[in-house]
């Protein structure tokens, strides 16, 4: 249970007026400030902040900071923030303080519910301008995906709708898209992508390519979706781009050949041939030379 004692009826406008009066003169009337703000719940405090801004064209939190000081100011500042924003501030201070405050991060991450934690990440990103693509990549790399084969069709439908919101006209829902991409099983995600295509007559990856190719978040999203949906097709395209690039992209070429030679490079080769009407070995032979060429062709399965 809570300890806060807040009245069920209060007028934000009257509170804002009373606070303004408390700020007047030399030294603020701290007793009134505490009597009001120490007895208002989170919703009421936000209403007062809004009313104060409208009446006095001034941010209440900024004004409080200039009127009070020390531990009182710091506690009041945190109290006035919305909970998710407050936790974002606490997390940021802890990160800046380094090792000695790492337990505060663990505390926030482990006490909050999944939805609350999502709201903190959103607030953190908003406040500290951490990039969305960073959020997405960290989420993808840290994930431990369930690998079962079950599909929840209703979920596929609702999450296809959420992704659609994110993709079309950059409508937001970024955190929701990140949550979906980083937590669902691949089987479930493929069902979601199929649902998207059935509904919008275009695949989500094509849609992404059309609209927002220049934005890093959308680029990372595009790669993630393609890799989850059909990674062989994805690798075929990486090879195609590497080969057709002026000067050849040897890094990308080596990466795909070396990492896939013992897995599914034969399938990728077949896709390459279907798409380009040229054998991958011939394309590679044309663009490379010497030992590098010999090595890649060996890994590509050329008989000596």
Query: Which residues between 147 and 206 bind its own copies (CB under 8 A)?
Result: 147, 179, 182-183
Question: Closer to its own copies at the Cβ: 57 or 303?
Answer: 303
Exactly one of 70, 149, 169, 201 binds its own copies (CB under 8 A); that residue is 70
Structure tokens at 169: 């006209």
Question: Closer to its own copies at the Cβ: 55 or 140?
Answer: 140
Exactly one of 63, 78, 200, 237 binds its own copies (CB under 8 A); that residue is 78
247 in Cβ contact with 237 (< 8 Å): no
**237-245 long-range Cβ contacts below 8 angstroms, 24+ apart:** 239/268, 239/272, 239/280, 240/272, 240/275, 240/276, 243/283, 243/284, 243/287
Footprint (CB under 8 A) of its own copies, residues 42-61: 42
Question: Closer to its own copies at the Cβ: 52 or 235?
Answer: 235
Is 61 annotated as belonging to a binding site?
Answer: no
Is 98 annotated as belonging to a binding site?
Answer: no
Please report how the helices 70-80 and 83-97 are oriented relative to each other, as an axis angle in degrees rounded to 10. 130
192 in Cβ contact with 183 (< 8 Å): no
In whole angstroms, what is the distance from residue 272 CA to residue 240 CA? 8
In whole angstroms, what is the distance from residue 58 CA to residue 56 CA? 5
What is the torsion angle, in degrees rounded to the nearest 10, for the CA atoms of residue 209, residue 215, residue 221 and residue 224?
80
Exactly one of 200, 227, 240, 279 binds its own copies (CB under 8 A); that residue is 227
Exactly one of 166, 205, 212, 288 binds its own copies (CB under 8 A); that residue is 288
Judged by CB under 8 A, does residue 63 bind its own copies?
no
CB of 161 to its own copies, least distance (A): 18
In sequence order, which residues have a C-beta less than 8 Å from that of residue 290 and are 6 or more positions away? none
Exactly one of 5, 24, 150, 169 binds its own copies (CB under 8 A); that residue is 5
In whole angstroms, what is the distance from residue 175 CA to residue 159 CA? 12
Footprint (CB under 8 A) of its own copies, residues 267-286: 267, 269
271 in Cβ contact with 232 (< 8 Å): yes
CB of 174 to its own copies, least distance (A): 14
The DSSP secondary-structure symbol of 17 reads H
Structure tokens at 265: 């490079």
Judged by CB under 8 A, does residue 144 bind its own copies?
yes
Footprint (CB under 8 A) of its own copies, residues 99-138: 99, 102-111, 113-114, 117-118, 121, 133, 136-138
Is 38 annotated as belonging to a binding site?
Answer: no
Exactly one of 21, 62, 74, 245 binds its own copies (CB under 8 A); that residue is 74
Is 247 annotated as belonging to a binding site?
Answer: yes
Binding positions for Ca(2+) are 23, 25, 27, 67, 243, 245, 247, 285, 287-288
């Amino acid at each position: 249970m809570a300890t806060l004692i807040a009245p069920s009826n209060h007028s934000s406008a009257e509170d804002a007026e009373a606070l303004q009066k408390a700020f007047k003169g030399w030294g603020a009337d701290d007793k009134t400030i505490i009597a009001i703000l120490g007895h208002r719940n989170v919703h009421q405090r936000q209403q007062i902040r809004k009313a104060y801004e409208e009446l006095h064209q001034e941010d209440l939190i900024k004004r409080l900071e200039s009127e009070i000081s020390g531990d009182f100011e710091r506690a009041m500042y945190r109290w006035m923030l919305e909970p998710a924003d407050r936790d974002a501030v606490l997390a940021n201070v802890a990160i800046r303080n380094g090792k000695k405050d790492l337990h505060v991060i663990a505390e926030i991450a482990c006490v909050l519910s999944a939805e609350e934690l999502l709201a903190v990440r959103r607030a953190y990103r908003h406040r500290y301008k951490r990039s969305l693509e960073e959020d997405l990549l960290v989420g993808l790399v840290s994930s431990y995906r369930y690998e079962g084969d079950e599909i929840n069709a209703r979920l596929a439908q609702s999450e296809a709708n959420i992704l659609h919101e994110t993709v079309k006209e950059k409508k937001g829902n970024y955190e929701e898209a990140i949550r979906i991409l980083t937590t669902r099983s691949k089987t479930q995600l493929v069902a979601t992508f199929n649902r998207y295509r059935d509904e919008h007559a275009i695949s989500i990856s094509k849609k992404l390519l059309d609209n927002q190719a220049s934005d890093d978040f959308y680029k990372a999203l595009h790669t993630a979706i393609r890799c989850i949906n059909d990674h062989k097709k994805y690798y075929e395209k990486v090879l195609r781009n590497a080969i057709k690039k002026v000067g050849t992209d040897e890094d990308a070429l080596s990466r795909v050949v070396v990492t896939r030679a013992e897995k599914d490079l034969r399938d990728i080769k077949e896709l390459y041939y279907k798409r380009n009407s040229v054998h991958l070995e011939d394309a590679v032979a044309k663009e490379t030379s010497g030992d590098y060429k010999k090595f890649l062709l060996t890994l590509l399965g050329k008989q000596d």
